[in-house]
């Protein structure tokens, strides 16, 4: 059994590789016989179909998981063609190559496909309506998938590496004069790559077709999330103050959905347990980092 992972140097990709290396612990999710290949961007740029084909035909994977993406939401707004190339056309390349060699394709997408005007968690069948180019390019990527593929939307990812709010707060505490300021009018599903990764493997290896929302349970605003990070670090939760998005300095290039909490309806319907509440994912990550 051979798996090919794109974006293996990113937050989720690294956790997917870590799960595969602990197949004893994740028995029933990842077979012990699995061989995992994870080319870096310099070894395979997924926007280049020739490079993609070369890798697929040399590895001949049974399953392919794509975590590679241009995830900087503001950069996507500033460089729209790059966003569509990385998040849209590259998905077409990977799906085409997977189809040619008969591999199952599992692709990771985002909560930002929604406009944020809901007041209850988005289910898999809810209408998408992205409000920034990151979300629109990721949604375009979703449309490039074959019906037999697996699409997983996750949200607000954090891990021990890469760019995320937990690592940002760890960098800021102690260095910043006065309280941190985080917005209280954007609400989402804080999620942790170490909790998401085993579920991604399960859905990919089981060849579950269609669309799945996969997040930690619970919701929070960025302000509430940062308050809890401070508490986990043994600091005063008053070390962060709530602001509105229009008070951000500097203003961001891309607007964000006000509310992008995802209901994990489709995985529940498969009989799978909910992933842990985000507070427990956070405690685990802080334990790793602090």
Contact positions toward ligand NAP, by CB under 6 A?
6-7, 9-13, 41, 45-47, 67-71, 86, 90, 108, 110-111, 138, 154-157, 162
* N residues, the chain: 290
Q: Which is nearer to ligand NAP, 138 or 167 (CB)?
A: 138
- Distance set, CA 261 to CA 13, 153, 233 (Å): 22, 11, 25
CB of 40 to ligand NAP, least distance (A): 6
Q: Which is nearer to ligand NAP, 179 or 210 (CB)?
A: 210
User: Which residue of the chain is nearest ligand NAP when measured via CB?
Assistant: 10
Cβ contacts of 117 within 8 Å, gap of 6 or more: 258, 259
- Distance set, CA 65 to CA 32, 39, 140, 200 (Å): 18, 12, 18, 8
Q: Which is nearer to ligand NAP, 86 or 232 (CB)?
A: 86
Q: Which is nearer to ligand NAP, 32 or 288 (CB)?
A: 288
Q: Which residues are catalytic?
A: 134
CB of 189 to ligand NAP, least distance (A): 9
CB of 12 to ligand NAP, least distance (A): 4
Q: Which is nearer to ligand NAP, 215 or 271 (CB)?
A: 215
CB of 129 to ligand NAP, least distance (A): 17
Angle between helices 278-289 and 165-172 (to 10 degrees): 50
Tell which residue, 137, 170, 156, has the closest CA to residue 286.
Answer: 170
């Amino acid at each position: 059994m051979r798996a090919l992972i794109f974006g293996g140097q990113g937050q989720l990709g690294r956790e997917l590789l870590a799960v595969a290396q602990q197949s004893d612990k994740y028995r029933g999710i990842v077979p012990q016989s699995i061989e995992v290949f994870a080319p870096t961007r310099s070894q395979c740029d997924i926007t280049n179909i020739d490079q993609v084909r070369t890798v697929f035909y040399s590895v001949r994977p049974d399953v392919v998981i794509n975590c590679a993406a241009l995830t900087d939401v503001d950069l996507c707004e500033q460089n729209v063609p790059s966003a569509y190339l990385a998040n849209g056309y590259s998905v077409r390349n990977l799906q085409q190559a997977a189809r040619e060699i008969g591999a199952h394709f599992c692709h990771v997408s985002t909560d930002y496909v929604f406009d944020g005007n809901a007041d209850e968690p988005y289910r898999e069948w809810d209408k998408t309506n992205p409000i920034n180019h990151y979300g629109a390019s990721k949604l375009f990527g979703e449309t490039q998938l074959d019906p037999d593929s697996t699409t997983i939307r996750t949200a607000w990812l954090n891990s021990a590496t890469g760019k995320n709010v937990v690592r940002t707060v760890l960098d800021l505490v102690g260095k910043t004069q006065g309280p941190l300021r985080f917005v209280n009018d954007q609400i989402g599903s804080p999620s942790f790559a170490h909790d998401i990764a085993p579920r991604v493997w399960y859905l990919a290896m089981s060849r579950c077709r269609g669309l799945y929302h996969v997040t930690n349970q619970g919701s929070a605003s960025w302000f509430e999330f940062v308050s809890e990070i401070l508490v986990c670090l043994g600091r005063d939760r008053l070390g962060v103050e709530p602001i509105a998005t229009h008070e951000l300095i500097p203003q961001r290039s891309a607007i964000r959905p006000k509310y992008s909490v995802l209901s994990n309806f489709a995985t529940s319907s498969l009989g799978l347990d909910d992933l842990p509440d985000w507070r427990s994912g956070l405690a685990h990550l802080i334990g790793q980092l602090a």
